[in-house]
Amino acid sequence: MAKLSVNINKIATLRNSRGGDLPNVVQFAKDAQRFGAEGITIHPRPDERHIRYQDAYDLKPEVYTEYNIEGNPIPKFIDMVLEIKPTQVTLVPDAEDAITSNAGWDTIKHKDFLVDVIKEFKDNGIRTSIFVDPDLNQIEGAKATGTDRIELYTEAFAHEYKLGNKDAIKPYADCANLANTLNLGVNAGHDLSLDNIKYFKDNISGLLEVSIGHALISESLYLGAENVIKMYLEKLK
């Protein structure tokens, strides 16, 4: 069964829109775990427009499942992760002005940089994952960086699946199969939802973890967070 890690960025976005502390991101993380979530994901950005760096520290003592911190490994991000020592760090090459993550790493072009960063995290006992597009060459490049896992960027799959094109799963399945042979763990995330998660999981060999935020929080507005988390867990069995 793939683990469900709930990305709580959208909770922070809602909080920040009023300038107070409602909803409280730490309390939501505690509740999500109580409802069955097997991990909490945050993705702080340099402008702190949703998750703040202080949130990352505040969450550390309250996340008793798996704590996954995503982000572009700029010096401030690296220092924070090394201080907090989460279960996993997921490296994402997002530009500062990006609304959301929109591409995976070029693991060949940026190999030397990734090797150095990943080694530092692993030397400190932090599991590493890197965000990648579903491209076989990039999976092979990821292996050469020394990362523990990859996270497949699933926006293209989600878009095509919504249009009825289920064949869009093929490059993801091929990449997962290659990762399995290379002894790379497979995570996935971006635009996965209650509509597409079961089909994705059923076709991805060795899927270890999915990170879901925007869809899960949006679905929770209608169905309730506890109910939605349990629905995801059922589909991930």
Q: Which residue has the tokens 């399995």?
A: 180
Annotated catalytic residues are 43, 70, 190
Q: Letter for the amino acid at 156? A: A
Rounded to the nearest 10 degrees, the angle between the axes of helix 136-145 and helix 170-181 is 30
State which amino acid sits at residue 166.
K
Distance in angstroms (rounded) separating the CA atoms of residues 213 and 78: 23
- Extents of the domains making up the chain: 3-235
CATH H-level, domain 3-235: superfamily: Aldolase class I (3.20.20.70)
How many whole angstroms separate alpha carbon 211 and alpha carbon 190? 7
Give the separation between CA 21 and CA 148, rounded to whole angstroms. 36
Over residues 67-93, mean pLDDT: 97
> How far is Cα 70 from Cα 165, in angstroms, rounded to an integer?
29
pLDDT digits (tens, 9 = 90+) for 124-182: 999 999 999 999 999 999 999 999 999 999 999 999 999 999 999 999 999 999 999 99
Tens digits of residue pLDDT in 13-45: 999 999 999 999 999 999 999 999 999 999 999
Cα 31 from chain centre: 19
Q: How far is CA 176 from the centre of its chain?
A: 16
Residue 76 to residue 74: CA distance in whole angstroms: 6
Identify the DSSP state of 100.
S
pTM (predicted TM-score): 0.95
51 has a pLDDT exceeding 60: yes
**What pLDDT does 103 receive?**
80
Tokens of 198: 């079961």
Cα–Cα distance measured from residue 12 to residue 33, given in angstroms and rounded to the nearest whole number: 17
